[in-house]
Chain A
Amino acid sequence: MSTSLNSKFVEISHLVKEYPNPYGEDFRVIENFNLNIKQGEFISLIGHSGCGKSTVLTMLAGLNEISDGGIIVGDKEIDGPGPDRAVVFQAPCLMPWMTAYQNVMLGVKNVYPHATKSVQKQIVEHSLSIVGLSDAMKKLPNEMSGGMQQRVGIARAIALKPKMLLLDEPFGRLDSLTRMELQDVIINILAEENLTAMIVTHDVDEAVFMADRCVMMSNGPKAGVGEIMEINFPRPRNRQDVFNDPMFFRYREHLLAFLEQRSHIKGKTRLHNHEDLIGYLSSEDLKSLEAQYQD
């Protein structure tokens, strides 16, 4: 019973996002997007620019209105944003007039209004130390680097003790070294807190390295889930082990091939695991695949 419940911790069904078009039919960005997420699972969402990845994530966060369909998180249909689904935005979005500590405290005070001051303080300090900012709590955002600011953003999110962590291209604006550091920070946090998480990314390596399942979106408009690929590296993950594993390159190739060859195929979702990765297809195989899945 519990496993079946857990396997559908998040249930996204027939999700639609449409924008009004005064000269014709409403413009559908997302159509028939279906996805179930297990508790503690890490999903990476990848697709071409503009296909609606961030739209799905912001709808899950409750920041974007759902046009049709529904999202259930932990037995409850979502209705607007809430601290159970913490978001780390692409820009750090810190309040420039508050220190790192105050920025994190802003949410903590609101989510734990009845906790004593010292407990609130403990929570803030703990979450800042997790992201490695114990020494920079009194700093203002403009005194910190982009990477440090994003760490504060992560600390603010996890301080809420959310059920889900939603990462909207969180490292898109950072250099690759900082990005790797922060990926490790996130992976360590998830290992400790057993959080369910979703990351929207453009980075193929990131999508494979971080996630348990990689959800590949078909092209918009009317984007949906094209393929889902299971990634079965053991957790907690070690960067070197993963990058040295020959499977890493096969996952990567499958993903790249999807983006280049198969992202236009819409209709039924195709499932893949480490045993049936397909990589690049010959043109005949591609045609038969199109014939099989295109509606």
Chain B
Amino acid sequence: MKNPLSYIKYPLLKAIDISGLTFLGPVVRLCYGEEPSVQMKKIGQWIFIPIIFIILFLFVWGIASEKIQTKSGALPNPTKTLQAYDSINTFAKREKLKKEAYEAHGEQREKLLTKAQERLAEIIPQAQAATELVTQEKANQKVKLASQIAPIKEEYKTSKRAFTESQKQRQTQLDHTSKKLHIGNEEQYQSFIQSVKEHQSQTETEKSTLRSIKIKIKEIENSSSKKVEKALQLQTIMAEEQQFLKKQIDQLTRDNKSLKVESEQLKIEENFTALTQVTGKEALKKAQSIVKTETRLEKTKASNYAKPSTLWFQVRRSILCVFTGFLLGSLIAIPIGILCGLSSTFMAAMTPFVAIFKPVSPIVWLPITLIIASGLIPDPDQNPLMKFLWGLPGELGEFKINPAFIASAATVALCSLWATLANTALGVASIDKDHLNVARVLKLGFWSRLFKIIIPSALPLIFAGLRISLGVGWMVLIAAELLSSSEGIGKFVWDQFNNGASDSFAKMIVVVFVVGVIGLILDRIMIIFQRMVSFEGSAATI
């Protein structure tokens, strides 16, 4: 009672319980000194054991990645994956800076420019040094390998010589035998065939021996040392930064928005003074050119930096897409579910549709929804809805919602609505008879019975359904985006798959974790909602 912290103990525990982060409960209780031994045991069970297993997993992953060789290189190990994550972030950061550079004007532009130029001046010698280091390390490596390879090469030469020798010998032997053959003597001929066979198989083994020695040499030649790899990595980093700085400077100078606007305005003014000095054909030409420049000026003023999409932009777009689809699905599923729960006749009418459409895979829905969406919006640039959506302020407009987005969202809706529908129907149908009796005694009308009794009592189950739906929707969405090329996480994976850069594979592994973590967060959010609408004794208290 003396400690003010003691007042927040139970609210804190309640918040932990509602949010579903139950593993934090023992920690809080331990901080308040409640049964330390019991809490320690729980902490061990729910915090330490998982951490140990995560470490174990990383370890196994590291080992396994060395063993699994593919055409696109080895399976990325945890370190490589982390580096890929870093490079994704760096890319996003640089794109943001470039955008800022494009929009910078006046003093700020100059400031940024000097900063970029300074940095570039700094980095050029560093990059050169890195390149030199690479050549040097490679040369070192070559020398080092040469001593390893020399004896094997020697071995190769001697065996090759020996094999040619023996082959020649066998050949002459066979020639000799062939001359001594007696016509008609089948047995002799049979044995001759036998010796030819032996000769050929002997030659084959010799060839494969030589081949395997060659492979060994190649392997050693290709085996890269850690030093070379490190030098290469440094070189790549330097080259990337150099390239970025050059682009940034471009955005600050040649491609800068304010500069472009200025130069065009200047051009118009110049042309106008020139125009006022002439008449006739010349004047018409000048006036036309002014009008042309003016329209270009308007366009430049309205233009935005053409930012290539970063993973985080795609993640946000995917989240918007999944919620659009989820909302769409829920708007269909909840009313139909309520009707199914209320009327067994309606349920009977709906059952065949549910049974048939529920198992349909997103891969089947997507092409259909894509055709319908692009049929409804044949020309997105002219469509008023699209124009409206693109004109929305902030990122909502930048998302450039297009038919592919709508098709993906519709696919999410079609695949995810079933869980909500079934759970809503169940929730409404399994309402407590006593509650209905109360409603009858109170003579509640249909609507107040629906909104005051039936829906509140079905809410926990409805939310349990919504939670499943959102999970399914998130899974479906990635596949839908991958197929529809709707800008999003799925497209990111597809681009990486087709890209084939050295870290594409690692970036795909990064996406696994990004998708997993976002799915987890979405699930947690739904759990919180579900807890909030649940009541004592309701069917879906977790």
B443 touches A83 (CB 8 A): yes
Alpha-carbon gap, A162 to B456, bound state (A): 27
Contact (Cβ within 8 A) B444 A110 = yes
Q: Does B5 contact A (CB under 8 A)?
A: no
**B residues near A81, Cβ cutoff 8 Å:** 437, 440-441, 443
Name the residue of chain A whose CB is nearest to the CB of B448.
Answer: A110
Chain A residues, CB < 8 A from B533? 97
Chain A residues closer than 8 Å to B452, beta-carbon distance: 95, 106
B441 touches A96 (CB 8 A): no
Nearest CB in chain B to that of A142: its residue: B536
Q: In the complex, are the beta carbons of A96 and B443 less than 8 A apart?
A: no
Q: Give A107 to B452 CA distance when docked, in angstroms.
A: 11
Nearest chain B CB to A80's CB is how many angstroms away? 7
**A residues in contact with B535, CB < 8 Å:** 96-97, 140, 142
Q: B442 to A96, Cβ gap below 8 A?
A: no
Contact in complex: B457, A95 (CB < 8 Å): yes
Choose one: A63, A91, A96, A98; the contact of B440 (CB below 8 Å).
A63
Across-interface contacts of A85 in B (CB, < 8 A): 441
Task: Select which of A87, A93, A109 is within 8 A of B435 by beta carbon.
Answer: A93
Interface centre among B432, B440, B459 (most CB of A within 10 A): B440
> Are A111's CB and B442's CB within 8 A?
yes
| A101 located at the interface, meaning its Cβ lies under 8 Å from any Cβ of chain B in the complex | no
Report the contact-size class of chain A (Cβ under 8 Å from the partner).
20 to 34
With a cutoff of 8 Å between Cβ atoms, the chain A residues found around residue B442 in the complex are: 83, 106-107, 110-111, 160
A87 in contact with B441 (CB, 8 Å): yes
B537 an interface residue at 8 Å Cβ cutoff?
yes
Say whether B434 contacts A93, CB under 8 Å: yes
A182 interfacial contact with B, CB 8 Å: no
For residue A86, CB closer than 8 A to chain B, the reply is: yes
Q: Which of A82, A85, A86, A93 has the most CB of B within 10 A?
A: A93
With A95-B453, A110-B448, A142-B535: A63-B441 Cβ-Cβ less than 8 Å: yes
Given contacts A83-B442, A83-B443, contact A96 B437 (CB under 8 A): no
Whole-angstrom distance between the Cβ of B449 and the nearest chain A Cβ: 10
Least CB distance, A138 to chain B, in whole angstroms: 16
- Closest approach, in angstroms, between the C-beta of A99 and any C-beta of chain B? 12
A104-B215 Cα distance, complex, nearest whole Å: 87
Inter-chain contacts of A80 with B (CB < 8 A)? 440
CB pair B445 A110 closer than 8 Å: yes
Find chain B residues with CB under 8 A from A98 CB. Answer: 456
- Binary B-proximity of A101-132 (CB < 8 A = 1, otherwise 0): 00000110111000000000000000000000
Chain B residues closer than 8 Å to A110, beta-carbon distance: 442-445, 448
Which of A83, A96, A107, A140 interacts with B538 by CB under 8 Å? A96
A141 CB-CB contact with B under 8 Å: yes
Q: What distance in Å separates the Cβ of A98 from its nearest Cβ neighbour in chain B?
A: 8
A89 and B434: CB pair below 8 A?
A: yes
**When A107-B442, A111-B442 are in contact, do A89 and B457 touch as well, CB less than 8 Å?**
no
Chain A residues near B521 (CB, 8 Å)?
Answer: none
Measured CB to CB, the closest approach of chain A to B452, in angstroms, equals: 6
Q: By the criterion CB–CB under 8 Å, are B443 and A63 in contact?
A: no
Q: Are B437 and A111 in contact (CB under 8 A)?
A: no
Q: Shortest Cβ distance from A104 into chain B, in angstroms?
A: 10
The number of residues on chain B lying at the interface, defined by a beta carbon within 8 Å of a beta carbon of chain A, is 22
Within the assembled complex, what's the spacing in Å between the Cα atoms of A80 and B536? 31
CB of B349 within 8 A of chain A? Answer: no
CB distance from A88 to the nearest CB of B (A): 10
B143 interface contact, C-beta 8 A: no
Contact between chains at A63 and B437 (CB < 8 Å): yes
A61: CB under 8 A from chain B? Answer: yes
Query: Once the chains bind, are B456 and A95 in contact (CB under 8 Å)?
Result: yes
CB-CB under 8 A from B432, the residues of chain A are: 93
Contact in complex: A97, B457 (CB < 8 Å)? yes
B443–A97 CB distance below 8 A: no
Collect the chain A residues with CB atoms within 8 Å of residue B456's CB: 95, 97-98
Chain A min CB distance to B530 (Å): 13
- A64-87 vs B, Cβ < 8 Å mask (1 yes, 0 no): 000000000000000011110111
- Interchain CB contact (< 8 A) of A95 among B435, B437, B440, B445: B435
Residues of B within 8 A of A61 (CB): 441
* Contact of B150 with A by CB under 8 A: no
Q: What's the least CB distance linking B441 to chain A, in Å?
A: 5
Complex: how many Å from CA A83 to CA B122?
A: 88
Do A106 and B443 touch across chains, with their CB atoms under 8 A apart? Answer: no
Is B284 engaged at the interface, CB distance under 8 Å to the other chain? no
Set of chain B residues within 8 Å of A87, measured between Cβ atoms: 437, 441
Residue B438 at the chain A interface, CB threshold 8 Å: yes
Q: Tell me if A82 and B437 are in contact (CB < 8 A).
A: no
Assembly CA distance A262 to B442 (angstroms): 39
Q: State in angstroms the CA–CA spacing of A33 and B448 once bound together.
A: 36
Contact B443 A86 (CB under 8 A): no
Asked if A93 and B438 make an inter-chain contact with CB atoms under 8 angstroms apart, the answer reads: yes
Find chain A residues with CB under 8 A from B437 CB.
63, 81, 87, 89, 93
Closest to B453 in A: A95
Q: What is the distance, in angstroms, from A107's C-beta to the closest C-beta of chain B?
A: 4
Residues in A with CB closer than 8 Å to B438 are 89, 93, 95
The residue in B438, B445, B533, B536 that gathers the most chain A C-beta atoms within 10 A of its C-beta is B438
Q: Enumerate A138-184 residues with CB–CB distance to B below 8 Å.
A: 140-142, 160
| Chain A residue at minimum C-beta to C-beta distance from B536 | A142
Task: Write the chain A residue with the least CB distance to B432.
Answer: A93
Give the distance in Å from the alpha carbon of A285 to the alpha carbon of B432 in the complex.
49
A82 touches B443 (CB 8 A): yes
Q: How many angstroms between the C-alpha atoms of A189 and B459 in the bound complex? A: 36
Inter-chain contacts of B440 with A (CB < 8 A): 62-63, 80-81
* CA–CA, A160 and B444, complex, Å: 13
A81 to B437, CA, bound (A): 9
Nearest Cβ distance between residue A242 and chain B, in whole angstroms? 31
Give CA–CA (A142, B536) in the complex, Å. Answer: 6
B290 to chain A, nearest CB (A): 70
Residues of A close to B536: CB separation below 8 A: 96, 141-142
CB distance from A119 to the nearest CB of B (A): 18
Bound-complex Cα distance A85 to B443 (A): 11
Contacts of A63 in B (CB 8 A): 437, 440-441
With A93-B438, A110-B444, A111-B443 known, 12 other A-B pairs at CB within 8 A are A61-B441, A62-B440, A81-B443, A83-B442, A87-B441, A93-B435, A95-B453, A96-B535, A106-B452, A111-B442, A142-B536, A142-B537
**Shortest 6 CB-CB contacts between residues of A and residues of B:** A142-B536, A96-B535, A107-B442, A93-B434, A81-B440, A97-B456
